Amino acid sequence: MEKKKRLSILADILGILGALIIFVIPFLFMLVNSLKDRRGANLLRLSLPETFQWKNYTEVITANNGIIFTAFKNSLIISLGSVLVLIIACAMAGYVLQRRKDKVMSVSNVFVMAGLMVPPAILPTISIMQNLHVYKTLFGMIMVEVALQIPFTIMLYRGFMSSIPVELEEAGYIDGCTRSKLFISIVLPLLKPVTATVTILNAVTIFNDFTNPLYFLPGNKNATVQLTLYNFMGQFSSSYGLLFADVIIITIPMILLFIFFNKKIVDGMTAGAVKG
């Protein structure tokens, strides 16, 4: 028993050290270099600056006529819009996939699982968006993010749905509930834990997305927070102090969100896994 306790303590220590190496040290590296002048930051060393250059953050905020504010607005619209659509569509899809047992649902499950493995096709997607006249629009970007996150989100809802007793639905039918009223009044309120997990995970993923807005939402007026990094990177030289200051600014909101709601993420995922 004593040996198991020591091994448990050792595992905890190794876990903490691993977290420090993977997460804390890189963050400190960016933070200290964001407060250095151009020459000091370009050395890329983990050392305190001789003089704290707080003006780096001012320059980032005012760069390109305050494009970072436009970027935050666009990223928030895309994140909130995508999360809202994902919650509505995937909660209903997860409910049907879990409750119905037939060949159609078996085939549907295969397509959902395939969505986790098949990479997105960039050029065909752009062509489709252009034909639908949604290319370079926030609506089009929301639809792309929703399409990419649907398989994982359905999987979470479906796993959690199995923890809801079928007897509750049978009682609702006896009381005269229609299928839609049953889902809205009985099932959906019971999905709060996994909905919190879905909201946070997808919001962080979509807010931090760099590649997809680069392809599907070009243009300064459509800039997202991740694309503002290009403001401080050039072909021949880069302002690493400003670059790291920008990274810190756009990272802090998601770090705070993750810290405050970390327990809800774990609860939602483990509940679906254990009871499913």
pLDDT in tens, the chain (276 residues): 677 777 778 888 888 888 788 888 888 999 999 999 988 888 888 888 888 999 999 999 998 888 899 999 999 999 999 999 999 999 999 988 888 888 888 888 888 888 888 888 889 999 999 999 999 999 999 999 999 999 999 999 988 888 888 888 778 888 777 788 888 888 888 888 889 889 988 999 999 999 999 999 988 888 999 988 887 776 446 788 899 999 999 988 888 877 777 666 666 656 554 444
**Domain chopping of the chain, boundaries:** 63-275
Place of tokens 């997460």: 23
Give 13-16 contacts, CB < 8 A, sequence gap 24+: none
CA distance 151 to 30: 34
CA distance 111 to 151: 9
CA distance 116 to 119: 8
pLDDT at position 128: 93
The CATH code of the domain at 63-275 is 1.10.3720.10
pLDDT at position 64: 84
Question: What's the length of the chain?
Answer: 276
CA distance 54 to 241: 10
Q: Which residues on neighbouring strands pair with residue 233, listed in sequence order?
A: 238
Q: For the whole model, what pTM was predicted?
A: 0.84
Burial (0-12, 13-18, 19+ Cβ within 10 Å), 39: exposed
DSSP string, the chain: -HHHHHHHHHHHHHHHHHHIIIIIHHHHHHHHHHTS-HHHHHT--SS--SS--THHHHHHHHHHHHHHHHHHHHHHHHHHHHHHHHHHHHHHHHHHHHH--SHHHHHHHHHHHHHHHSPP-HHHHHHHHHHTT-TTSHHHHHHHHHHHHHHHHHHHHHHHHTTS-HHHHHHHHHTT--HHHHIIIIIHHHTHHHHHHHHHHHHHHHHT--HHHHHHS-SGGG--GGGGGGGGB-SS-B-HHHHHHHHHHHHHHHHHHHHHTHHHHHHHHHHHHHH-
pLDDT at position 269: 59
Give 175-178 contacts, CB < 8 A, sequence gap 24+: none
User: Positive or negative CA dihedral for 121, 122, 123, 129?
Assistant: positive
